[in-house]
């Protein structure tokens, strides 16, 4: 897409839409978290706490929309996670192969992805968050250095006159793919223990970093590319130092995005594996009780019964398994599919992200609002649970919320239809040629 004004307008619009969706996801996630805590306290549970109990988008959709919502969210999330990981692994291999001469792209991409996978699996959300913060600060520092270098050679800090608005639709998937961070929203809600004020602040400030970085980068690239009389991009990269800075910035941008996606996906699989093992454990306890009633259960010398599956739920072991489920297929696809980066970004940004983080959240909020309205209609206000009497600052059951939810949903559907239209045009063009 050519022209700073069209690209900047498109980026800001997509950012505002995605932030609104992320804040809505946070509201839904915290609402379900408080409901689980209330149910656990009523049932006498809640004594033992998990290190980080993440309520995934799949669980959110299943609890609000039913089984069909859970299945749709699962399919979209898995497809999104793997396509995003393939894109990041492919791009990191491409960048590293330029920085380290002689190393093939598949090898460098696999090594980079494996290193970050070890960080996520071994360090957990806490350590990963601190490392990601350092990498983000380093990326911002390099971006400032690039901007200073661009200004020094006559580029940057400009508004190129050319404006091709007709190219905006084709750029939407890449922009959405670049700005989306919603796979981290459930992790942030768990990490900040459902504190909505801190969650909102984290979402707003965290989303501003990639937006500002993209706007500055777009200004630099377009300013240098469109100034035919001045220096070009190659002039800016004519020194080894400048070339290394730009490539390192690109690698850090890919790495921080990969960490977020990998952490969110691994936590998703940890939740699914935990639920699976918990179901198996519950069934096993039933079988043990039946055997005890029949007098055929065998006990260990210390008097305990069957050891069960507690060892399987050890944090690190489960984390390594979940991370491996995400990383291994990613490495294989990135190494074997040519041009996997552009293919993955189009699919992920045009369909998966828009459906999962654009269409589903308003539907989930609508379902919650309808349920709250139905519940409150039959109860006095003092009889309602605290979190259903307006503890949240934004009431999903209010009349003013419904037009907002409809608008968000319609905008998301239109983006999906636009991507389908663009794909049909491309397909027809390829058939004709």
What is the CB neighbour count within 10 angstroms for residue 44? 7
The answer, yes or no, to whether residue 77 has pLDDT greater than 70, is yes
pLDDT at residue number 223:
64
The answer, yes or no, to whether residue 283 has pLDDT greater than 90, is no
Lowest mean pLDDT among 360-364, 406-410, 422-426: 422-426
The answer, yes or no, to whether residue 428 has pLDDT greater than 90, is no
Residues 430, 433: Cα–Cα separation, whole Å = 5
The dihedral through the CA atoms of 14, 19, 20, 25 has a sign that is positive
pLDDT single digits (tens) 169-209: 777 777 877 787 887 888 888 888 888 899 999 999 888 88
2 dihedral zone (left: phi>0; alpha: psi -120 to 50; beta):
beta
* Position 19 confidence tier, pLDDT thresholds 50, 70, 90: very high
The torsion defined by the Cα of 31, 33, 35 and 41, in degrees rounded to 10, comes to -150
Residues 190, 195: Cα–Cα separation, whole Å = 9
Lowest mean pLDDT among 235-239, 249-253, 311-315: 311-315
- All domains of the chain in start order, with CATH: 4-30+52-289+305-425 (1.20.1740.10)
Read off the pLDDT of each residue in 52-66 and give the average, rounded to a whole number: 86
The answer, yes or no, to whether residue 115 has pLDDT greater than 50, is yes
Q: How far is CA 58 from CA 9, 74, 186, 400, in A?
A: 32, 5, 10, 27
pLDDT single digits (tens) 317-326: 888 999 999 9
Lowest mean pLDDT among 109-118, 150-159, 245-254, 379-388: 379-388
* Position 236 confidence tier, pLDDT thresholds 50, 70, 90: low
pLDDT at residue number 308:
43
Read off the pLDDT of each residue in 370-392 and give the average, rounded to a whole number: 51
What is the CB neighbour count within 10 angstroms for residue 138? 15
With contact defined as beta carbons under 8 Å apart, do 226 and 160 qualify? yes
pLDDT at residue number 291:
47
pTM of the model: 0.71
The answer, yes or no, to whether residue 341 has pLDDT greater than 50, is yes
Residues 62, 357: Cα–Cα separation, whole Å = 15
Residues 37, 329: Cα–Cα separation, whole Å = 36
């Amino acid at each position: 897409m050519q022209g700073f004004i069209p690209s900047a307008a498109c980026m800001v619009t997509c950012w505002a839409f995605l932030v609104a969706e992320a804040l809505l996801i946070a509201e839904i996630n915290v609402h379900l978290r408080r409901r689980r805590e209330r149910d656990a306290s009523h049932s006498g549970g809640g004594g033992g706490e998990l290190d980080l109990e993440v309520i995934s988008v799949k669980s959110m959709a299943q609890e609000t929309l039913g089984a069909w919502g859970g299945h749709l969210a699962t399919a979209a999330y898995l497809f999104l996670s793997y396509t995003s990981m393939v894109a990041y692994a492919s791009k990191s291999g491409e960048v590293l192969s330029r920085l380290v001469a002689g190393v093939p792209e598949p090898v460098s991409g696999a090594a980079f992805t494996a290193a970050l996978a070890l960080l996520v699996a071994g360090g957990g959300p806490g350590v990963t968050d601190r490392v990601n913060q350092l990498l983000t600060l380093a990326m911002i520092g390099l971006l400032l250095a690039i901007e200073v270098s661009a200004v020094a050679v006559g580029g940057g800090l400009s508004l190129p006159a050319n404006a091709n608005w007709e190219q905006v639709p084709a750029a939407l998937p890449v922009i959405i793919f670049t700005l989306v961070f919603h796979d981290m929203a459930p992790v942030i809600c768990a990490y900040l223990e459902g504190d909505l004020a801190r969650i909102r602040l984290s979402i707003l400030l965290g989303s501003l970093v990639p937006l500002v970085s993209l706007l500055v980068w777009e200004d630099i690239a377009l300013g240098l590319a469109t100034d035919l009389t001045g220096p070009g991009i190659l002039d800016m990269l004519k020194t080894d130092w400048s070339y290394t800075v730009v490539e390192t910035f690109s690698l850090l941008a890919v790495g921080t995005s990969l960490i977020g996606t990998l952490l969110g996906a691994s936590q998703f699989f940890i939740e699914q594996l935990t639920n699976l093992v918990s179901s198996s454990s519950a069934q096993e306890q039933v079988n043990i009780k039946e055997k005890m009633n029949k007098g055929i259960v065998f006990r260990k010398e210390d008097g305990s019964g069957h050891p069960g599956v507690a060892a399987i739920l050890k944090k690190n072991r489960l984390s390594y398994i979940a991370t491996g489920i995400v990383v291994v297929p990613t490495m294989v696809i990135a190494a074997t599919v040519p041009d996997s980066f552009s293919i993955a970004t189009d699919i992920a940004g045009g369909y998966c992200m828009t459906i999962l983080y654009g269409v589903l959240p308003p539907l989930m909020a609508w379902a919650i609002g309808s349920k709250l309205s139905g519940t409150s209609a039959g109860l006095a206000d003092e009889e309602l649970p605290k979190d259903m009497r307006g503890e949240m600052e934004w009431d999903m059951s209010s009349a003013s919320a419904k037009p907002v939810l409809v608008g968000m949903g319609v905008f998301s559907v239109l983006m999906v239809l636009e991507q389908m239209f663009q794909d049909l045009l491309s397909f027809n063009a390829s058939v004709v040629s």
